[in-house]
A and B are shown apart, each in its own frame.
Chain A
Amino acid sequence: MKFLTVDVGSTYTKLTAIDATTREILGTAQAFTTIESDVMQGFERAWQELTEARPDNPCANFGYDQMLVCSSAAGGLKMVALGLVPDLTAKAARTAASNAGAKVVKTYAYEISGSEQQEIFDINPDLVLLCGGTDGGNREVIVANARRLVAIDRPFTTIVAGNKSATDEIRAIFEEAHKDVVITENVMPQFNKLNIEPARDAIRQLFIARIIEAKGLNRLQAMTPHKIIPTPLAVLQACELLSRGTATQQGYGDLLAIDIGGATTDVYSMAAGTPTVDNTMLKGLPEPWAKRTVEGDLGMRYSLTHVFEQLPERGFPQYEEQMKRVGEWVERCSSQPDTLAQPDSEEEKIEEFLGRSAVALAVERHCGRIADVYTPLGLMHTLEGKDLMDIPAVVGIGGVLRNSRHPEEILKGSLYNVMQPESTRPRNPKFYLDSRYIFAAMGLLRMVDEELACELLLRETKKIG
Chain B
Amino acid sequence: MEKKTVVIGVIGADAHAVGNKIIDLTLCNHGFNVVNLGVMVSQEEFIDAAVETSADAILVSSLYGHGEIDCMGLRQKCDEAGLKNMPLFVGGNLVVGKQNFEDVKERFLSMGFDYVYAPSTPIEETIGDLKKHLGLE
Residue B51 is within 8 A (CB to CB) of chain A in the complex = yes
Separation of A283 and B45 alpha carbons in the complex (Å): 9
Query: Is A88's CB under 8 angstroms from B14's CB?
Result: no
Query: Is A85's CB under 8 angstroms from B48's CB?
Result: yes
Query: Is B53's CB under 8 angstroms from A373's CB?
Result: no
Extra A-B contacts (12), CB below 8 Å, given A136-B2, A136-B33, A137-B55: A84-B52, A89-B52, A133-B53, A134-B53, A136-B54, A191-B52, A375-B15, A375-B40, A376-B13, A376-B66, A377-B15, A380-B15
Q: Which single member of B13, B33, B48, B55 contacts A88 (CB below 8 Å)?
A: B48
Query: Is B52's CB under 8 angstroms from A382's CB?
Result: no
Query: Is B52's CB under 8 angstroms from A375's CB?
Result: no
Query: Is A134's CB under 8 angstroms from B15's CB?
Result: no
Q: Which B31-77 residues sit within 8 Å CB-CB of chain A?
A: 33, 35, 38-40, 45, 48-49, 51-55, 64-66
Which residues of A have CB within 8 Å of B51? 84-85, 138
Which residues of B have CB within 8 Å of A192? 49
Cβ of B27 to closest chain A Cβ, rounded Å: 14
Given A87-B48, A380-B40, A382-B40, A373-B13 contact (CB < 8 Å): yes
Could you tell me the dominant secondary structure of chain B's interface residues? loop
Which residues of B have CB within 8 Å of A377? 15
Q: Which B1-39 residues sit within 8 Å CB-CB of chain A?
A: 2-3, 5, 13-15, 33, 35, 38-39
A180-196 interface mask toward B, CB cutoff 8 Å, 1 = contact, 0 = none?
A: 00000000101110000
Q: Which single member of B2, B38, B45, B64 contacts A375 (CB below 8 Å)?
A: B64
Q: Which single member of A134, A190, A281 contacts B39 (CB below 8 Å)?
A: A281
Q: Which single member of A138, A374, A376 contacts B52 (CB below 8 Å)?
A: A138
A192-207 interface mask toward B, CB cutoff 8 Å, 1 = contact, 0 = none?
A: 1000000000000000
Separation of A134 and B34 alpha carbons in the complex (Å): 13
Which residues of A have CB within 8 Å of B33? 136
Chain B interface category by residue count: 20 to 34
Given A137-B5, A191-B35, A373-B52 contact (CB < 8 Å): no
Q: List 16 A-B contacts (CB under 8 A).
A: A87-B48, A88-B49, A133-B53, A136-B2, A136-B5, A137-B54, A188-B52, A190-B35, A191-B35, A191-B49, A191-B53, A281-B38, A375-B15, A375-B40, A377-B15, A380-B40
Query: A-contacting residues of B (Cβ < 8 Å)?
Result: 2-3, 5, 13-15, 33, 35, 38-40, 45, 48-49, 51-55, 64-66
Cβ of B28 to closest chain A Cβ, rounded Å: 13
Which residues of B have CB within 8 Å of A376? 13, 64-66
Query: Is B64's CB under 8 angstroms from A85's CB?
Result: no
Q: Which A367-390 residues sit within 8 Å CB-CB of chain B?
A: 373-377, 380, 382
Cβ of B11 to closest chain A Cβ, rounded Å: 12
Which residues of A have CB within 8 Å of B66? 376
Query: Is B13's CB under 8 angstroms from A380's CB?
Result: yes
Closest 7 CB pairs of A and B: A137-B53, A375-B13, A137-B54, A138-B54, A191-B35, A85-B48, A134-B53
Total residues of chain A contacting the partner, CB 8 A: 25
A56-97 interface mask toward B, CB cutoff 8 Å, 1 = contact, 0 = none?
A: 000000000000000000000000000011011100000000
Which residues of A have CB within 8 Å of B3? 136
Residue A14 is within 8 A (CB to CB) of chain B in the complex = no
Separation of A132 and B54 alpha carbons in the complex (Å): 11
Query: Is B15's CB under 8 angstroms from A281's CB?
Result: yes
Separation of A373 and B65 alpha carbons in the complex (Å): 16
Q: From B38, which residue of chain A is reached at the shortest CB distance?
A: A281
Separation of A188 and B52 alpha carbons in the complex (Å): 10
Residue A139 is within 8 A (CB to CB) of chain B in the complex = yes
Which residues of A have CB within 8 Å of B40? 281, 283, 373, 375, 380, 382
Q: From A375, which residue of chain B is reached at the shortest CB distance?
A: B13
A84-124 interface mask toward B, CB cutoff 8 Å, 1 = contact, 0 = none?
A: 11011100000000000000000000000000000000000
Which residues of A have CB within 8 Å of B48? 85, 87-88
Separation of A13 and B28 alpha carbons in the complex (Å): 57
Separation of A283 and B5 alpha carbons in the complex (Å): 21
Separation of A283 and B52 alpha carbons in the complex (Å): 16
Separation of A159 and B65 alpha carbons in the complex (Å): 47
Separation of A192 and B66 alpha carbons in the complex (Å): 27
Query: Is B54's CB under 8 angstroms from A375's CB?
Result: no
Q: Which A329-384 residues sit within 8 Å CB-CB of chain B?
A: 373-377, 380, 382
Q: From B48, which residue of chain A is reached at the shortest CB distance?
A: A85
Query: Is A137's CB under 8 angstroms from B52's CB?
Result: yes
Separation of A73 and B108 alpha carbons in the complex (Å): 60
Separation of A136 and B52 alpha carbons in the complex (Å): 10
Which residues of A have CB within 8 Å of B13? 373-376, 380
Q: From B7, which residue of chain A is reached at the shortest CB distance?
A: A191
A122-165 interface mask toward B, CB cutoff 8 Å, 1 = contact, 0 = none?
A: 00000000001110111100000000000000000000000000
Cβ of B57 to closest chain A Cβ, rounded Å: 14
Which residues of A have CB within 8 Å of B55? 137
Separation of A134 and B65 alpha carbons in the complex (Å): 33
Which residues of A have CB within 8 Å of B49? 88, 191-192
Which residues of B have CB within 8 Å of A137? 5, 52-55
